[in-house]
Amino acid sequence: MRDWSAMTHPDDLAALRRARDRMDREYASGLRVSDLAAAAHMSTGHFQRSFKAAYGETPHSYLMTRRVERAMMLLRGRAMSVTEVCMAVGASSLGSFSSRFTELVGETPSAYRAREHGPLESLPACVARIVGRPVRIEEAPRRPRA
């Protein structure tokens, strides 16, 4: 396997950082990896390989993780339905969003909403985002079934 990190040019790293920052800001819009690659002046394949080498996950995976983080906060607020939350974070399919949410958080969006979240609700959003950050399912602690 190639070590892509050793082949990443400093200008590419700056472009990747700008793309990541754009995903952080515009996660709810219809961002496409091909558009991000074009803005970074890279082919889609080169952009995906370079992004994964720099950040440890693909651009699509990074974007979906940002969407799930925001969805977790919205679901804790209980003001929106799961479908409304899905659309508010920019996911185009409730099924794929629910699958990704379950993969990262370890439970479905509905189960997450129904569970008591304790002190996270009283934390400022910027702190709750760090404390409540989703992890891959294989890293998530097992929750006892009720």
Q: What single DSSP character describes residue 106?
A: S
Mean pLDDT confidence for 105-133: 74
Residue of 51, 55, 17, 56 lying closest to 33 (CA atoms):
51
Whether the CB-CB separation of 73 and 128 falls below 8 Å is answered with: yes
Residue 85 within any structural domain of the chain: yes
Residues 86 and 109 in one domain: yes
* One domain for residues 101 and 49: no
Residue 144 in domain: no
Lowest-confidence region among 29-33, 106-110, 128-132: 128-132
Which residue carries 């970074």 as its tokens? 40
Question: How many other C-beta atoms are found inside a 10 Å radius of the C-beta of residue 106?
Answer: 19
Does residue 122 share a domain with residue 67?
Answer: yes
Measured distance CA(56)–CA(92) in Å, rounded: 25
Q: Total structural domains in the chain?
A: 2
- 44-90 tens-digit pLDDT: 999 999 999 999 999 999 999 999 999 998 998 878 999 999 999 99
Same domain, 80 and 39: no
* pLDDT, position 133: 65
Give the range of the structural domain holding residue 115, as residue numbers without chain letter. Answer: 61-132
Q: Which of 101, 115, 102, 103 shows the shortest CA–CA distance to 146?
A: 115
